[in-house]
């Protein structure tokens, strides 16, 4: 090296370089693992709090909830707060009365994945509330889905009735151009934020197509399990 580059550093033995890199990697490993172990309980607590706040945003009287994972054979109860897979929460008020289901839905928006939590009420077979969990779309345009009053009206009673055999939604949820909503299963898009509005429609449709049939099939069990973890 020094022969090629005059004035370069004197040659260093390979053993020394490996030893130094090994020491540095070891120190780095200890540092990262310590930080991970130290912060994990707090991160999990933050996630639980965020979930509780989101559930309370769509069910203001919610007190307890029970977590289910949508498995191939139906709904499986889970003791974890945030298990992997598609999750549904059965929500109960302080008298352990069943309020409905809260479930997450996601789809690609204009800039990034949009994640929402929605309330499904088996009583009316409709979606009764929507809370935006994550949305990085354009400020002032795409982020209107969280606050636009007209848009939020869509989710007062969005029809998600099932077909007679109970295997899928009778009418898929679709987002229509602003001002052209005629049916209860349509979402009236925000003018100027069509891509974001459509993403919400796609997310809800995809999630409800699998969630609603399974919840309906298991409704008795889910709505009676009033003891939450």
Partner 1 sequence: MTPAEKSPPLDFDTFLSGVWRENPVLVMLLGMCPTLAVTNSAINAFAMGAATTFVLVGSGALVSLLRRLVPGTVRIATYIVIIASFVTVVDYLIQAVSLALYAALGAFIQLIVVNCIILGRAEAYASKRPLGHAIVNAAGVGTGFTLGLLLLGSVREILGAGTLFGLPLFGEQFQPWVVMLLPPGGFFVLGMWLLVFSWLRERRGRPHAEARHIHGH
Among the listed ranges 11-19, 67-75, 173-181, 210-218, the one in contact with partner 1 (CB under 8 A) is 11-19
Cα distance between residue 193 and residue 218, in whole Å: 37
Choose, by CB under 8 A, the member of 17, 82, 113, 170 that binds partner 1. Answer: 17
Write the binding mask 131 to 170 for partner 1: x where contact by CB under 8 A, - elsewhere. ---x-x-xxxx-----------------------------
In the block, which residue shows the tokens 């498995």? Answer: 71
CB 38 to partner 1: min, Å: 8
> Is 89 in contact with 100 (CB distance < 8 Å)?
no
CB 80 within 8 A of CB 101: no
For residues 145 and 133, the answer to whether their CB atoms sit within 8 Å is no
Pick 9 or 72: Cβ nearer partner 1: 9
Name the segment binding partner 1 (CB under 8 A); options: 37-45, 80-88, 183-191, 196-204. 37-45
* Cα gap 165→210, rounded to integer Å: 14
Q: State the nearest-atom distance from the C-beta of 55 to partner 1, in Å.
A: 15
Given 8, 71, 77, 113, the residue binding partner 1 (CB under 8 A) = 8
Which of positions 117-136 make contact with partner 1 (CB under 8 A)?
134, 136
Residue 6 near partner 1 by CB under 8 A: no
Per the document, the length of the chain is 229
- Selection from 143, 74, 157 nearest residue 111 by Cα: 143
Cα–Cα distance measured from residue 162 to residue 226, given in angstroms and rounded to the nearest whole number: 25
Give residues 50-69 in contact with partner 1 (rule: CB under 8 A): 50
Strands (E) located in the chain: 64-71, 74-78, 87-92, 98-108, 113-121, 126-134, 158-159, 174-176, 186-188
- Residue 16 engages partner 1 in binding (rule: CB under 8 A): yes
CB 196 within 8 A of CB 141: yes
Residue in 3, 42, 79, 182 binding partner 1, rule: CB under 8 A: 42
Strand ranges across the sheet with 87-92: 74-78, 64-71, 87-92, 98-108, 113-121, 126-134, 158-159
28 touches partner 1 by CB under 8 A: yes
25 binds partner 1 (CB under 8 A): yes
Tell me how far, at minimum, the Cβ of 196 lies from partner 1, in Å: 15
State in angstroms the smallest separation of the CB of 132 from partner 1.
Answer: 12
Residues that bind partner 1 (CB under 8 A): 1, 7-9, 12, 16-17, 20-21, 23-25, 27-28, 31-32, 35-36, 38-40, 42-43, 46-47, 50, 134, 136, 138-141
């Amino acid at each position: 090296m020094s022969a090629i580059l005059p004035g370069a550093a004197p040659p260093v033995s390979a053993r020394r370089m490996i030893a130094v890199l090994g020491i540095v990697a070891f120190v780095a490993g200890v540092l990262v693992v310590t930080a991970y172990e130290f912060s994990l309980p707090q991160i999990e607590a933050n996630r639980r709090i965020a979930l509780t706040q989101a559930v309370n945003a769509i069910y203001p009287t919610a007190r307890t909830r029970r977590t289910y994972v949508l498995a191939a054979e139906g709904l499986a109860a889970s003791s974890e707060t945030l298990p992997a897979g598609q999750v549904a929460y059965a929500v109960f008020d302080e008298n352990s009365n069943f309020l409905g289901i809260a479930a997450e839905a996601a789809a690609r928006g204009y800039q990034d994945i949009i994640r929402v939590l929605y309330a499904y009420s088996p009583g009316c077979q409709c979606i009764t509330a929507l809370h935006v969990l994550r949305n990085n779309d354009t400020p002032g345009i795409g982020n209107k889905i969280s606050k636009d009053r007209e848009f939020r009206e869509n989710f007062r009673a969005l029809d998600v009735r099932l077909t007679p055999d109970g295997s899928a939604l009778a009418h898929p949820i679709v987002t229509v151009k602003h001002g052209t909503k005629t049916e209860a299963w349509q979402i009236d898009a925000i003018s100027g934020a069509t891509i974001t509005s459509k993403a919400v429609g796609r997310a809800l449709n995809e999630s409800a197509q699998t969630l609603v049939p399974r919840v309906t099939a298991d409704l008795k069990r889910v709505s009676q399990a009033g003891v939450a973890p």
